[in-house]
């Protein structure tokens, strides 16, 4: 369990908070490129890290991410006119470029120079891998973008989708690094395989329901190994990568496929505020373009990480109890809820907007959860004392994969992990 004080430190991300300051040292996904695809298109409301923002793509294609409220009388810039290389407030016509500079102030006399004294809060933004990224930290510490494998491939070989999750970012991350719950929450009745029939199921996940965890802290975060018993004197290993501050790489299911040749999947859990999170899901096929069917499965609104509506709200959500089907729960799905992300959301959102970790009783299967909390709390405290997180300034550390495979029982974890993760363009 955590003390109430440490729980607050872990979860609160608003401006000026220690964890918020740490997370702001990293570039983060803000929008899908498709949300502001055209120059001079409609502005987009955006809320990140407890801040209300507005995003727009100007006449030249540059991306602006500004404070949502005009510095004149606090009118919402969302209603502004995106025109002639700037966003113009409809209240009195003040206009701002993508860097936040006031470039026109038609409500003031022409001979005044007031506009040169006005600067709207703005954050750098770049498009990379079909995603609009932003950096919200100190301008003099701005790092290079993280070089995820999926973000560096041609458009035909990658997908991205996001969905709203109505809980704090940390409890969402903790679900992503918890391999033990897969044997229960995502299983079918009787523990036979994975509940989502669109995925190659693996009896290895459910035949041994109490995995042994090995966790190693590495440059970019954590290397997490979950070991299950298998036949023929083997262990089934699932090796998950947690990358600072809120990314995971997902091991492929099943030992029959060579994970080095499988699609690469990952998540990001980006705080909207203390109580809501954008859950991003990325995929890439380093070997060939996706077919139309594969693209819809991995990246469509109704695919593996859906279904979501046009606002990225899951159609199975807290308000409708995720459409839980009690007969199905008795006779089919362990959870009675269709879809892996909906099953995750039901338990993570059901903990409350911020889980009270002082009430927990953790077990041996929670080693990765404990390591995650200790790492983030330590880094937040260090950042508060002017010690910068090294991972933020090494974008090349992010080109990594996860893995799953059968290994002999005499193979040590580090040797097995090195073998499984070798050969790809990444740092392990």
Angle at 352 between CA 216 and CA 67, to 5 degrees: 85
pLDDT at 203 (0 to 100)? 66
**CA triple 422-299-369, angle to 5 deg:** 55
Q: Considering only the top CATH level, what class is 150-421?
A: alpha beta
Low-confidence ranges of the chain (pLDDT < 50): 256-257, 259, 423-428
In the prediction, which pLDDT does 306 show?
A: 82
Tens digits of per-residue pLDDT, 121-169? 999 999 999 999 999 999 999 999 999 999 999 999 999 999 999 999 9
For the chain, domain boundaries:
30-134, 150-421
Q: Using CB atoms within 10 A of its CB, is residue 247 exposed (0-12), middle (13-18) or buried (19+)?
A: buried
> Which residues make beta-bridge pairs with 250?
265
Domain 30-134: give its CATH superfamily: Rieske [2Fe-2S] iron-sulphur domain (2.102.10.10)
């Amino acid at each position: 369990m955590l003390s109430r004080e440490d729980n607050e430190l872990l979860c609160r991300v608003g401006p000026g908070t220690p964890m918020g300051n740490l997370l702001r040292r990293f570039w983060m996904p803000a929008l899908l490129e498709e949300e502001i695809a055209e120059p001079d298109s409609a502005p987009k409301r955006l809320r990140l890290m407890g801040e209300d923002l507005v995003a727009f793509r100007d006449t030249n294609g540059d991306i602006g991410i500004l404070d949502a409220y005009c510095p004149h009388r606090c009118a919402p810039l969302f209603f502004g006119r995106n025109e002639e290389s700037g966003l113009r407030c409809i209240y009195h016509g003040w206009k701002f470029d993508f860097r936040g500079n006031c470039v026109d102030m038609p409500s003031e006399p022409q001979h005044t120079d007031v506009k040169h004294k006005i600067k709207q809060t703005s954050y750098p933004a770049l498009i990379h891998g079909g995603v609009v990224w932003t950096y919200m930290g100190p301008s003099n510490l701005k790092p290079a973008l993280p070089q995820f494998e999926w973000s560096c491939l041609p458009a035909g070989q990658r997908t991205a989708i996001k969905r709203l999750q109505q809980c704090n970012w940390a409890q969402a991350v903790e679900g992503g690094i918890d391999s033990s719950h897969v044997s229960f929450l995502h299983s079918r009745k009787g523990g036979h395989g994975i509940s989502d029939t669109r995925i190659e199921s693996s009896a290895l996940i459910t035949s041994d329901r109490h995995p042994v965890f090995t966790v190693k802290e590495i440059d970019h975060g954590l290397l997490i190994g979950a070991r299950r018993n298998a036949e023929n004197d083997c262990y089934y290993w699932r090796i998950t990568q947690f990358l600072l501050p809120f990314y995971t790489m997902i091991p492929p299911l099943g030992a029959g496929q060579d994970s080095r040749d499988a699609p690469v999947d990952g998540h990001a859990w980006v705080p909207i505020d203390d109580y809501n999170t954008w859950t991003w899901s990325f995929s890439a096929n380093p070997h060939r373009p996706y077919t139309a069917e594969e693209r819809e499965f991995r990246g469509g609104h109704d695919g593996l990480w859906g279904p979501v509506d046009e606002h990225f709200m899951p159609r199975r959500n807290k308000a409708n109890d995720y459409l839980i089907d009690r007969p199905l729960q008795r006779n089919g799905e362990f959870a009675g809820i269709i879809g892996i992300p909906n099953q995750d959301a039901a338990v993570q959102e059901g903990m409350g907007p911020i889980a009270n970790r002082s009430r927990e009783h953790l077990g041996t299967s929670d080693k990765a959860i404990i390591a995650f909390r200790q790492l983030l709390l330590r880094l937040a405290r260090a950042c508060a004392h002017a010690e910068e997180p090294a991972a933020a300034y090494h974008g090349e550390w992010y080109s990594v994969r996860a893995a799953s495979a059968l290994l002999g029982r005499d193979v040590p974890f580090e040797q097995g992990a090195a073998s499984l993760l070798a050969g790809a363009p990444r740092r392990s």
